[in-house]
Chains A and B, each alone.
Chain A
């Protein structure tokens, strides 16, 4: 039992380090090579955990090799862009100026029903309203509507909305988030001064944040 626990810990730690070094893309939108790597990693990781006859190093070595290949490939592809067209897919334009490129649709094995479904979920159900529909490398469809079908922007309406940016959570569950404080550009002294003005002690704060327009949001813990 202790062996299984230790093996799980070692393989998990190795996987986490490898995945972190491979980058965020491995977690979300995957390319073909990344998807293959992820599948292989999951298989490799479980083998020594389930089979005690297999030494842990037999999982660690392939994980490190995959990590190295993945990182090396990404570096080589940046240096030699020509290879990118061989290793990874290229984006394909399926709709241009309201017209479907039937050849591209066929070569990507996408049915008209699937395309229409994607357009509907992209809030652009009418093909004639689409300026570009691009099938990205990760398989997602990017829809660029024509100007006449695009929602009006603040510039179009002639208004100047105030930039609020993002809400920086400076206190979460009664504890100061030093990193968020640094990102927001505020000092600890400023925060302490603001806290002293609040109607409740810091331990009763669920979250306290400030956006780029200096607007403060305070939510107390329930029942406090």
Chain B
């Protein structure tokens, strides 16, 4: 029974970590969506988006597939690049793609038929 209780504790701790991680990812993704939506063609709001991403990337990488993390990272870099180059259309397209990636980030942490199967 000792082993059972040890396993139960480990399982309980892990379940707690999973729940809190899921809540955290959803919160961060929602905040990033807001920040991304606030980016203007003139480049306003990009610094806030970058700062928020830099503050959270290490924690996100802990549980999210690195391919998706890299994709978001590249999109944010592209937004900065297109803003500095004055390419408003490309910037807008990157923002839209970033929003799609952020939706995917949230979707991966949902319990759904699509995710399970």
Chain A residues close to B by CB (< 8 Å):
21, 23, 52-55, 57-58, 60-61, 64-65, 67-68, 71-72, 75
Per the bound structure, the CA–CA distance linking A72 and B63 in Å amounts to: 26
Q: How far is the CB of B70 from chain A (nearest CB, A)?
A: 8
Q: How far is the CB of B47 from chain A (nearest CB, A)?
A: 28
Instruction: Assess whether A21 is in contact with B6, with CB atoms less than 8 Å apart.
Output: yes
Q: What would be 21 A-B contacts, judged by CB atoms less than 8 Å apart?
A: A23-B3, A52-B66, A54-B66, A55-B61, A55-B62, A55-B66, A57-B62, A57-B63, A58-B63, A60-B14, A61-B18, A64-B11, A65-B14, A67-B7, A67-B11, A68-B8, A68-B10, A71-B4, A71-B7, A75-B1, A75-B4
Q: How far is the CB of A64 from chain B (nearest CB, A)?
A: 5
Instruction: Assess whether A64 is in contact with B10, with CB atoms less than 8 Å apart.
Output: yes
Q: Which residues of A contact B56 (CB under 8 A)?
A: none
Asked if B67 lies at the interface with its beta carbon under 8 angstroms from chain A, I say yes
Q: Which residues of B contact A64 (CB under 8 A)?
A: 10-11, 14
Asked if B65 lies at the interface with its beta carbon under 8 angstroms from chain A, I say yes
Q: How far is the CB of B33 from chain A (nearest CB, A)?
A: 22
- Nearest-CB residue, chain A, relative to B64: A55
Per the bound structure, the CA–CA distance linking A157 and B18 in Å amounts to: 66
Interface code B53-94, partner A: CB below 8 Å = 1, 0 otherwise?
000000001111111000000000000000000000000000
Q: Which residues of A contact B14 (CB under 8 A)?
A: 60-61, 64-65
- Nearest-CB residue, chain A, relative to B68: A53
Per the bound structure, the CA–CA distance linking A68 and B4 in Å amounts to: 8
Q: Which residues of A contact B4 (CB under 8 A)?
A: 71-72, 75
Per the bound structure, the CA–CA distance linking A71 and B66 in Å amounts to: 32
Per the bound structure, the CA–CA distance linking A1 and B3 in Å amounts to: 35
Q: Which residues of B contact A67 (CB under 8 A)?
A: 7, 10-11
Chain A facing B: main interface SS: helix
Interface code B1-38, partner A: CB below 8 Å = 1, 0 otherwise?
10110111011001000100000000000000000000
The one of A53, A58, A61, A68 in contact with B7, judged by C-beta atoms closer than 8 angstroms, is: A68
The one of B3, B63, B67 in contact with A71, judged by C-beta atoms closer than 8 angstroms, is: B3
Q: Which residues of A contact B6 (CB under 8 A)?
A: 21
Per the bound structure, the CA–CA distance linking A53 and B6 in Å amounts to: 31
- Nearest-CB residue, chain B, relative to A22: B3
Per the bound structure, the CA–CA distance linking A67 and B11 in Å amounts to: 9
Q: Which residues of B contact A55 (CB under 8 A)?
A: 61-66
Q: How far is the CB of B64 from chain A (nearest CB, A)?
A: 7
Per the bound structure, the CA–CA distance linking A57 and B20 in Å amounts to: 14
Per the bound structure, the CA–CA distance linking A64 and B15 in Å amounts to: 10
Instruction: Assess whether B11 is in contact with A68, with CB atoms less than 8 Å apart.
Output: yes
The one of A21, A52, A58, A60 in contact with B3, judged by C-beta atoms closer than 8 angstroms, is: A21
Q: Which residues of A contact B1 (CB under 8 A)?
A: 75
Q: Which residues of B contact A71 (CB under 8 A)?
A: 3-4, 7
Per the bound structure, the CA–CA distance linking A71 and B12 in Å amounts to: 14
Q: Which residues of B contact A57 (CB under 8 A)?
A: 62-63
Per the bound structure, the CA–CA distance linking A57 and B14 in Å amounts to: 10
- Nearest-CB residue, chain B, relative to A64: B14
Per the bound structure, the CA–CA distance linking A93 and B4 in Å amounts to: 33
Q: How far is the CB of A28 from chain B (nearest CB, A)?
A: 18
Instruction: Assess whether B64 is in contact with A65, with CB atoms less than 8 Å apart.
Output: no
